[in-house]
């Protein structure tokens, strides 16, 4: 049979499990003799740790033990970087527990093991910690003064400057007929998961084996980190991925707790579970995004972009975490977005501050870059008297220019190029969907007390990071098939997508793919995980290779048993045929074959956002009337899950555009410690969102033609909303240059405009 | 975010409840819905040694409507107010205000007495109580007494209640059928505590506004009336120009705080805008 499951909007096979409450998350895993871990975290932003006295805590009934750095011979191990592991970052990496200094509110100081979480929390209050306060570094400007340094050894708060370069930007600027420079900034966000993090570890003393539950995202890599830290061979550590309630780049990276809990389990020879609570997660999980830039754009009078140049400053928080450099790196490389920019020079500084450390959050660096450049494009087009859509049309990269080389970044020396696409087609489609010609008459109009505004932006989304992914196909006892993956599920629907790919390749009904196993380290020999919108690109291509290898293995085995040439063997749903004979597939139970896909190039999906909003200028309130995202994903394996990704990430992006901001005071005290303070979008905030998924330009760099597609909704939301606000409030000359677009900020822009008009 | 250790009691009579509270010298807290107290305990901001659950106390769940106004039993929930059709005429301002309280689940649990005793400066019910000159009936070890709203609310999370006293009833004076009213609040998300809110009403005498009551909440450390704005309204014909004037008066007489959601200057302007809009809405009714 010839299958076409790829391309069909199939409902997710995961959904019934989740909707019926049959998912198994790490907190659902029970174990006799379990101890609960509760973590004492620093309430001081910057200080010298003088002493920890846990004697009173140990007397609290139900407390088993209290673990501190003193329990770790040779000092607490360091969490190494996973991405961009440059030697420059080494001095700034995080110890798993504070031992000489504390550097942010929320840094682990001690771990209480108790018979319940409540008792553990009671005991926290009984631990006496003496900390000698040091001056806090609460923003990058203070960090840049280097008066108070977080790390004495390097003696500077700047861990690195990424340099993105293409052509000769300085020369281009020297000769440019038009230059505009602006100062822009984005808020501090994080990828809040519905299910907070959790780790459970068991230690088998007899076998010398450690089992870690709650693994997510990159279990194989994390196993290597843990192996080195805890001094056990990787074979002695099993990482188990349970159901995962959201990842967004933040969950599943190696955090201090990913050492502390396994260490505790081995230390006390009891199973230990730690479940992050909502208060903790806001200060313990990676932050992201807080970037500020001075950006210059040089243009010809006809609107052709000649060059971009600028400096970006990222507030890194207190430590360089596993993927902490990605945002600051990406913002420099992708500042040019989907546009033809021949000359690029961006310096991106990473500043250490006394805040929760940063990591990636869906669209890292790209959300910021998109806001920075797209905001400026609207201002520049107005300066030059060019329609802002025509300006974009003129500068978008065409398919004839593909593959298009982009700026390369030192010191990682990442040379890269866009892969395929006619970028303007998504823009035209988005304008058509929202009926731009009709709506354009509303721009800036005041109707019933609200100003109408339109925003339009284009974006590029990177995906498909290499170097490798693995997959394995196995025959089950009942003659169905299972797929085993080296990549992970963070809720993106990979069980459905991989089943579609495998069923098409094996030419069997999709129901014959009984289960798709993923994430845990026992399933395949090596895996890389779920990040950089790579699972379908890399994992899906690995499934294809595995199906080829599987068919070869099956032909070999069946040829012997059927007495025919291997080339005559065929798989017919649940039968294996050849030479006029037939066997049940179940007779080949446990027959298995692994496959892999190796690739160092990246996919680049792209698209456009168009928004119609209203602004109540006196309240500073934004309401979305209509919002359309068009994204070309190369090839949509499952249009339903792609739409889910686009709309879900769009809502997250709108949260960042108008609501979310993690705040600190000048002493580094954390001000947004609950969801009453850190405002996430709720179901009623952004009801009018639409998306169109296109697959007109397949990626040439993988056999499926797919591109990563999980981040396009979020990347352009800040830029689009800011442009729409500027458009709505054009009569006030309002030019938003920072996110989020809070009522206070919008009101201030209006006030400034009124004041200027009055003068 | 687990609760600290505490004892729990669920008395069947008011006297028993008062005795329990009195016996713990300020360490005990009444539980009346728990929509603020429980999160505070989970954050360990509040650590009472005893929770006295009021849910079984008799006679505190009724909404009584008579010639002298509306009497809300302390255990009346937001949902009870919204479901009570009689209040459409008996106190439409109360009903409109309560429709802004938090979210569905919270409206099913939170109580009027609990909210007033908690006295969050941004809560709607204390704002209505202040605006409408409510009287609180309370009972404690020393017996029953009544407290005027203006005396009851003393600041952020601070009331005139003694540690052994509980609110039993909130009385809102009678509402004439011709009364004009308006209610406006603005939060960054629907259901959040408002950055500012205005409740107002006035009667019309000879075509002019009289008996103006304008209350503000979410601004400063306590819900309060705005006498200068009220003076700007009394004795005048209500039109758009007057609404602007009253709004300006309201903005001028608040002392707005700054927090992570709103600057002080914005909050002042917002107060004026909401007062102006509430008055316009009142006039249009």
pLDDT digits (tens, 9 = 90+) for A467-488: 999 999 999 999 999 999 999 9
**pLDDT band with cut points at 50, 70 and 90 for residue A43:** very high
The shortest CB-CB distance from A671 to any of B43, B189, B260 is to B260
User: If we measure between CA atoms, which residue out of A685, A610, A619 comes closest to residue A450?
Assistant: A619
What's the pLDDT score for residue B285? 87
Nearest CA in chain B to A116: B2
SS3 percent helix, strand, coil of chain B, rounded to 5, is 35, 25, 40
pLDDT reading at A495 higher than 70:
yes
The reply to whether A175 falls in a domain is yes
The reply to whether A545 falls in a domain is yes
What's the pLDDT score for residue A660? 98
| Same domain as A521, residue A483 | yes
The mean pLDDT of A108-132, rounded to a whole number, is: 97
The reply to whether A607 falls in a domain is no
How many angstroms separate the CA atoms of A623 and A69, rounded?
50
The reply to whether A708 falls in a domain is no
Q: Which residue has the tokens 């099993």?
A: A238
| Cβ within 8 Å, pair A619-B189 | no
| Same domain as A524, residue A488 | yes
pLDDT reading at A415 higher than 90:
no
Structural domains of chain B ordered from first start = 7-53 (3.30.43.10), 63-173 (3.30.465.10), 180-284 (3.30.390.50)
| Same domain as A410, residue A326 | yes
| Same domain as A482, residue A396 | no
Nearest CA in chain B to A674: B43
The reply to whether A738 falls in a domain is no
Q: How far is B3 from chain A (nearest CA, A)?
A: 7
pLDDT over 70 for what percent of chain A? 100
| Same domain as A196, residue A184 | no
Residues of A in contact with B190 (CB under 8 A): 682, 684-685
Q: How far is A149 from chain B (nearest CA, A)?
A: 27
pLDDT reading at A598 higher than 80:
yes
| Same domain as A225, residue A369 | no
pLDDT digits (tens, 9 = 90+) for A638-663: 999 999 999 999 999 999 999 999 99
Residue A125 forms contact with B (CB below 8 Å): yes
What's the pLDDT score for residue A3? 79
The residues near A111 (Cβ < 8 Å, ≥ 6 apart) are: A37, A38, A39, A40, A66, A67, A68, A97, A260, A264
The reply to whether A707 falls in a domain is no
pLDDT digits (tens, 9 = 90+) for B260-275: 999 999 999 999 999 9
How many angstroms separate the CA atoms of A640 and A633, rounded?
13
**pLDDT band with cut points at 50, 70 and 90 for residue A16:** very high
**Angle at A735 (CA atoms; ends A729, A741), nearest 5 degrees:** 80
| Cβ within 8 Å, pair A682-B195 | no
| Mean per-residue pLDDT over chain A, rounded | 96
The mean pLDDT of A737-755, rounded to a whole number, is: 97
| Same domain as A481, residue A394 | no
| Same domain as A312, residue A210 | no
Residues of B in contact with A620 (CB under 8 A): 266
Q: How far is B186 from chain A (nearest CA, A)?
A: 8
The reply to whether A734 falls in a domain is no
> Does the ipTM surpass 0.90?
yes
The shortest CB-CB distance from A677 to any of B3, B191, B260 is to B260
What's the pLDDT score for residue A413? 76
| Cβ within 8 Å, pair B192-A742 | no
What's the number of domains chain A is made of? 3
Q: Domain boundary at A578, A598, A618, which?
A: A598
What's the pLDDT score for residue A759? 85
pLDDT digits (tens, 9 = 90+) for B198-220: 999 999 999 999 999 999 999 99
Q: What's the per-residue H, E or C state across A287-350?
A: EECCEEEEEEEEECCCCCEEEEEEEEEEEEECCECCCCCHHHHHHHHCCCCCECCCEEEEEEEE
Residue B198 forms contact with A (CB below 8 Å): no
Q: Domain boundary at A284, A315, A331, which?
A: A284
- How many CB atoms are closer than 10 A to CB A690? 17
CATH code (residue A237):
3.90.1170.50
What's the pLDDT score for residue A414? 73
What's the pLDDT score for residue A37? 98
**pLDDT band with cut points at 50, 70 and 90 for residue A2:** confident
| Same domain as A476, residue A591 | yes
pLDDT reading at A491 higher than 80:
yes
| Cβ within 8 Å, pair B3-A618 | no
pLDDT reading at A727 higher than 90:
yes
How many angstroms separate the CA atoms of B37 and B33, rounded?
8
Residue to test with chain B: of A620, A624, A663, A687, most B Cβ within 10 A = A620
The mean pLDDT of A393-404, rounded to a whole number, is: 98
The mean pLDDT of A150-159, rounded to a whole number, is: 97
pLDDT reading at A375 higher than 60:
yes
| Same domain as A398, residue A479 | no
What's the pLDDT score for residue A109? 98
Nearest CA in chain B to A655: B189
Q: Which of residues 406-425 of A touch B (CB under 8 A)?
A: none
A50: exposed, middle or buried (Cβ count in 10 Å: 0-12, 13-18, 19+)? exposed
Residues of B in contact with A677 (CB under 8 A): 260
What's the pLDDT score for residue A573? 92
Q: Domain boundary at A253, A284, A315, which?
A: A284
The residues near A253 (Cβ < 8 Å, ≥ 6 apart) are: A82, A217, A218, A222, A286, A321, A322, A323, A359, A360
Q: Which of residues 30-49 of B touch A (CB under 8 A)?
A: 39, 43-44
The mean pLDDT of B45-50, rounded to a whole number, is: 95
Query: Residue A163: which domain range?
Result: 135-189+286-416
The mean pLDDT of A177-205, rounded to a whole number, is: 97
First-to-last alpha carbon distance for chain A, in angstroms, is: 77
**pLDDT band with cut points at 50, 70 and 90 for residue A1:** low
- Is the sign of the CA dihedral A95, A100, A103, A106 positive or negative? positive
The mean pLDDT of A325-336, rounded to a whole number, is: 97
8 A C-beta contact, residue B14 and residue B139: yes
| Cβ within 8 Å, pair A279-B1 | yes
| Same domain as A110, residue A215 | yes
| Cβ within 8 Å, pair B266-A117 | no
Residue A619 forms contact with B (CB below 8 Å): yes
CATH code (residue A589):
3.30.365.10
The shortest CB-CB distance from B263 to any of A116, A278, A744 is to A744
pLDDT digits (tens, 9 = 90+) for B138-172: 999 999 999 999 999 999 999 999 999 999 999 99
Residue to test with chain A: of B188, B267, B277, most A Cβ within 10 A = B188
| Count of pairs with CB atoms under 8 A, one residue in A, one in B | 66
| Same domain as A409, residue A279 | no
pLDDT reading at A276 higher than 70:
yes
Q: What is the DSSP letter of A442?
A: G
The reply to whether A78 falls in a domain is yes
């Amino acid at each position: 049979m010839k299958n076409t499951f790829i391309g069909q909007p199939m409902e997710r096979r995961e959904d019934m499990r989740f909707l019926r409450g049959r998912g198994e998350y790490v907190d659902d895993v029970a174990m006799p003799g379990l101890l609960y871990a509760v973590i004492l975290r620093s309430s001081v932003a910057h200080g010298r740790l003088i002493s920890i006295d846990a004697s009173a805590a140990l007397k609290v009934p139900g407390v088993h033990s209290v673990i501190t750095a003193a329990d770790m011979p040779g000092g607490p191990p360091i969490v190494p970087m996973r991405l961009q592991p440059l030697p420059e970052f080494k001095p700034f990496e995080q110890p798993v527990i504070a031992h000489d200094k504390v550097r942010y509110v929320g840094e682990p100081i001690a771990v209480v093991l108790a018979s319940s979480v409540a008792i553990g929390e009671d005991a926290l209050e009984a631990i006496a910690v003496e900390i000698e306060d040091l001056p806090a570094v609460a923003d990058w400007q203070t960090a840049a003064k280097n008066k108070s340094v977080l790390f004495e050894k390097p003696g500077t708060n700047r861990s690195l400057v990424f340099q993105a370069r293409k052509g000769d930007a300085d020369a281009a600027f020297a000769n440019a007929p038009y230059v505009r420079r602006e100062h822009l900034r984005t808020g501090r966000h994080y990828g809040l998961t519905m299910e907070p993090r959790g780790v459970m570890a068991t230690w088998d003393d007899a076998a010398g084996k450690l089992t870690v539950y709650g693994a997510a995202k990159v279990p194989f890599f994390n196993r290597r980190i843990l192996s080195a830290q805890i001094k056990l061979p990787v074979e002695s550590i099993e990482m188990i991925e349970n159901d995962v309630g959201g990842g967004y780049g933040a969950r599943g990276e190696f955090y201090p707790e990913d050492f502390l809990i396994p260490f505790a389990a081995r230390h006390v020879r009891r199973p230990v579970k730690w479940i992050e609570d909502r208060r903790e997660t806001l200060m313990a999980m990676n932050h992201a995004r807080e970037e500020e830039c001075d950006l210059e754009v040089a243009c010809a009078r006809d609107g052709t972009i000649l060059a971009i140049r600028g400096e970006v400053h990222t507030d890194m928080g207190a430590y360089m975490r596993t993927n902490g450099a990605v945002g600051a790196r990406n913002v420099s490389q992708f500042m040019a977005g989907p546009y033809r920019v021949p000359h690029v020079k961006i310096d991106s500084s990473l500043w250490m501050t006394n805040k929760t450390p940063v990591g990636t959050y869906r669209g890292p660096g790209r959300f910021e870059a998109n806001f920075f450049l797209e905001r400026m494009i609207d201002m520049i087009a107005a300066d030059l008297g060019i329609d802002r859509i025509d300006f974009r049309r003129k500068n978008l990269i065409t398919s004839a220019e593909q593959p298009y080389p982009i700026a390369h970044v030192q010191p990682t020396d990442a040379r890269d190029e866009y892969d395929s696409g006619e970028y303007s087609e998504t823009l035209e489609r988005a304008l058509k969907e929202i009926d731009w010609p009709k709506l354009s008459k509303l721009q800036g109009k005041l109707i019933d007390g609200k100003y109408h505004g339109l925003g339009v932006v284009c974006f590029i989304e990177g995906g498909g990071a290499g170097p490798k992914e693995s997959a394995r196909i196995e025959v089950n006892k009942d003659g169905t098939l299972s797929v085993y993956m080296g990549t992970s599920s963070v809720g993106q629907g990979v069980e459905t997508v991989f089943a579609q790919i495998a069923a098409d390749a094996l030419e069997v009904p999709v129901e014959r793919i009984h289960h798709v196993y993923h994430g845990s380290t026992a399933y395949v020999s090596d895996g890389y995980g779920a990040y950089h919108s790579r699972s379908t690109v890399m994992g899906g291509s690995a499934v294809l290779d595995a199906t080829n290898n599987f068919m070869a293995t099956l032909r070999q085995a069946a040829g012997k048993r059927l007495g025919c040439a291997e080339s005559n063997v065929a798989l017919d749903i649940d039968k294996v045929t050849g030479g006029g004979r037939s066997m049940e597939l179940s007779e080949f139970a446990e027959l298995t074959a692994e496959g892999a896909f190796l690739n160092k190039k990246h996919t680049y999906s792209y698209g456009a956002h168009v928004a119609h909003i209203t602004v109540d200028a006196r309240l500073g309130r934004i309401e979305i009337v209509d919002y359309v995202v068009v994204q070309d994903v190369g090839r949509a394996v499952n249009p339903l899950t792609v739409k889910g990704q686009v709309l879900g990430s769009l809502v997250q992006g709108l949260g960042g555009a108008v609501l979310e901001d993690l705040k600190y005071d000048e002493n580094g005290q954390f001000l947004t410690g609950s969801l009453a303070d850190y405002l996430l979008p709720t179901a009623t905030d952004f009801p009018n969102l639409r998306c169109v998924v296109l697959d007109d330009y397949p990626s040439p760099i993988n056999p499926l033609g797919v591109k990563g597609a999980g981040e396009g909704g979020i990347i352009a939301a800040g830029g689009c909303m800011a442009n729409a606000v500027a458009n709505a409030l054009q009569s006030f000359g309002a030019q938003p240059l920072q996110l989020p677009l809070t009522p206070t900020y919008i009101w201030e822009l209006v006030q400034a405009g009124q004041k200027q008009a009055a003068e | 975010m687990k609760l600290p250790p505490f004892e729990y009691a669920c008395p069947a009579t008011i006297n028993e409840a008062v005795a329990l509270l009195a016996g713990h010298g300020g360490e005990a807290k009444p539980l009346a819905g728990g929509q603020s107290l429980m999160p505070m305990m989970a954050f360990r901001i509040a650590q009472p040694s005893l929770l006295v659950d009021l849910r079984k106390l008799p006679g505190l769940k009724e909404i009584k409507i008579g010639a002298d106004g509306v009497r809300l039993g302390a255990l009346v929930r937001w949902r009870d107010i919204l479901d009570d059709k009689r209040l459409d005429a008996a106190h439409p301002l109360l009903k409109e205000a309560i429709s802004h309280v938090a979210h569905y689940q919270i409206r099913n649990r939170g109580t009027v007495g609990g909210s007033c005793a908690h006295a969050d400066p941004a809560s709607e019910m204390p704002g209505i109580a202040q605006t409408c000159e409510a009287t609180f009936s309370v009972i404690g070890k020393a017996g029953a007494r009544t407290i005027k709203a203006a005396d009851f609310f003393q600041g952020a999370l601070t009331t005139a209640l003694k540690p052994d006293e509980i609110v039993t009833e909130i009385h809102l004076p009678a509402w004439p059928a011709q009364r004009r009213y308006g209610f406006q609040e603005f939060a960054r998300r629907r259901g959040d505590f408002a950055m500012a809110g205005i409740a107002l009403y006035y009667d019309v005498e000879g075509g002019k506004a009289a008996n103006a009551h304008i209350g503000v909440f979410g601004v400063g450390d306590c819900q309060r009336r705005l006498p200068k704005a009220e003076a700007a309204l009394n004795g005048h014909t209500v039109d758009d120009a007057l609404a602007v004037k009253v709004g300006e008066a309201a903005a001028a007489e608040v002392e707005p705080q700054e927090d992570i959601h709103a600057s002080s200057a914005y909050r002042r302007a917002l107060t004026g805008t909401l007062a102006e809009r509430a008055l316009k809405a009142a006039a249009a009714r």
